[in-house]
Amino acid sequence: MAVTTAPTTQEKPVATPHFNAFEMAQRQFDHVADQLNLDQPTRDLLRWPLREFHFAIPVRMDDGSVKVFRGFRVQHNDARGPAKGGIRFHPLETVDTVRALATWMTWKCAVVDIPLGGGKGGVICDPHNLSMREQEAICRGWIRQMAKHVGPLEDVPAPDVMTTPQHMLWMLDEYEVIKGGKYPGFITGKPVGMGGSLGRTEATGYGVVYTIREALKDMGLPVAQTTAAVQGFGNVAQYAIRLYQQLGGKVVCASSWDQADQTSYTFRKLSGISADELLSISDKFGGIDKAKAKGLGYEVLPGDKWIEQEVDILIPAALENQVTGENVNRIHAKVKLVAEGANGPTTPEADKVLAARNIFVIPDFLANAGGVTCSYFEQVQSNMNYYWEMEEVLGKLDVKMTSAFLAVSELARRKSLYMRDAAYVIAIDRVAQACRDRGWV
């Protein structure tokens, strides 16, 4: 049932009418490949994934019927180490989104200099409408299809949008049944106590804030004198809000998806929102209850209002394709910094405007690399079967994120590059070098 395809450079990505994340990832790559004067074989290798798997996952549903879900795994590049990347559950998942995310994982692991490649997986499904038993069956079905092609030394999955530590544990269990042994280093994002690492839940959001802290230092702005607007209220957004506020910053709004209304809303409190308060009225997917929010004194505004706020910092931490050519000009003149918690939130058209307006951008694959860095720590701990204390994990995370940020910002200053380009130059150069060193190109 599993189909393995090695895509060719002739194959064109299937574009949705509005946005194709993989085309965007390729455009970003081409732009930097030109700057680096990359030779043609290296371009052909890095513009496309090394390997792709497209497969069916038949599931016996609770009502007795059988439903067939579509699953993917894309291994973009593994020259620097085993592929690494999350598995998302999303009703609108496409292979091009997965390809883009796998590509960005390659650059992300390279920019923070951890010995891993890039991969990503997904299943077209909506967990909102699935029982836990049905979700377990999807997880186990995904592993049955992929067990031959993933593993601690080949490709290490993790959670992503709408997947959780529980999903990872079901996947690990299925993998260990098939392989007949214990392989805690096969998958990351496991529950703490079952091979998970302390700090993983906080890692991506905290990592975003470590880079914001360093950027503000460069700008000579004390964190306590700054304000921020956040898009999203899931794992990344919640922990970014918490640490930024611990450092003294004020967050005026967060936005979230409303499943019942099939639209998003922005929840604003100009005196400062509270992550704990909003969490107490959120569902497990990060959707905030409108009526309860109003009761707690929040203004409930249209979903896109987060981008117009009069703040110093914007933190898109929901989905890709959110800061676009259409809305970028609605960003307030006060905004000095965009820290991309989400993957691919800014389109190339919007990038041009941000660069022209001199807004400092901490690009996604640098800003949100805390997650994969901590996943790497989890893998190391699982392979050793020895687990570190929280302080040790967060201390090591801060060192990695800060040094990656400083390397990128130093190159950007020295060569007058846009931050995204500087991060790409470092990452692509490291991956291209690994491919050359291995004699692939």
The contact set with ligand NAD (CB under 6 A) reads 160-162, 204, 231-237, 255-257, 264, 285-287, 303, 317-319, 341-343, 368, 371
Measured from the CB atom, the residue of 215 and 366 that comes closer to ligand NAD is: 366
Cβ–Cβ under 8 Å, residues 425 and 32: yes
Neighbours of 67 (CB within 10 A): 15
Instruction: Provide the angle, in degrees to the nearest 10, between the axes of the packed helices 390-414 and 200-219.
Output: 40
Out of 84, 120, 250, 305, which one is annotated catalytic?
A: 120
- Cα(360)–Cα(365) distance, rounded to whole angstroms? 15
Give the strands of the sheet with 118-124, arranged side by side: 3-5, 51-60, 66-77, 118-124, 83-90, 155-159
> Hey, what amino acid is at 205?
G
Instruction: Provide the angle, in degrees to the nearest 10, between the axes of the packed helices 370-384 and 390-414.
Output: 140
Catalytic residue at 120?
yes
- Minimum CB distance to ligand NAD, residue 259 (Å): 8
**Angle formed at CA 116 by CA 99 and CA 174, multiple of 5 degrees:** 75
How distant, in Å, are the alpha carbons of 94, 137, 283, 343, 415 from that of 316? 21, 32, 20, 9, 27
- Minimum CB distance to ligand NAD, residue 63 (Å): 27
- Minimum CB distance to ligand NAD, residue 200 (Å): 8
- Minimum CB distance to ligand NAD, residue 124 (Å): 16
Measured from the CB atom, the residue of 20 and 42 that comes closer to ligand NAD is: 20
Neighbours of 14 (CB within 10 A): 11
Measured from the CB atom, the residue of 157 and 287 that comes closer to ligand NAD is: 287
Measured from the CB atom, the residue of 335 and 374 that comes closer to ligand NAD is: 374
- Minimum CB distance to ligand NAD, residue 232 (Å): 3
- Minimum CB distance to ligand NAD, residue 107 (Å): 13
Give Cα 131 to chain centroid, integer Å: 25
- Cα(273)–Cα(297) distance, rounded to whole angstroms? 10
Cβ–Cβ under 8 Å, residues 224 and 248: yes
Measured from the CB atom, the residue of 393 and 417 that comes closer to ligand NAD is: 393
- Cα(344)–Cα(363) distance, rounded to whole angstroms? 9
Cβ–Cβ under 8 Å, residues 116 and 82: yes
> Hey, what amino acid is at 361?
V
Strand-pair category, 3-5 with 51-60: antiparallel
Measured from the CB atom, the residue of 33 and 117 that comes closer to ligand NAD is: 117
- Minimum CB distance to ligand NAD, residue 196 (Å): 13
- Minimum CB distance to ligand NAD, residue 103 (Å): 13
Tokens of 433: 């070098």
How distant, in Å, are the alpha carbons of 22, 277, 385 from that of 206? 27, 19, 25
Measured from the CB atom, the residue of 33 and 393 that comes closer to ligand NAD is: 393
- Point out the residue whose Cβ comes nearest to ligand NAD: 234
- Cα(406)–Cα(371) distance, rounded to whole angstroms? 18
Tokens of 52: 């792709």
Measured from the CB atom, the residue of 45 and 104 that comes closer to ligand NAD is: 104
Catalytic residues: 120
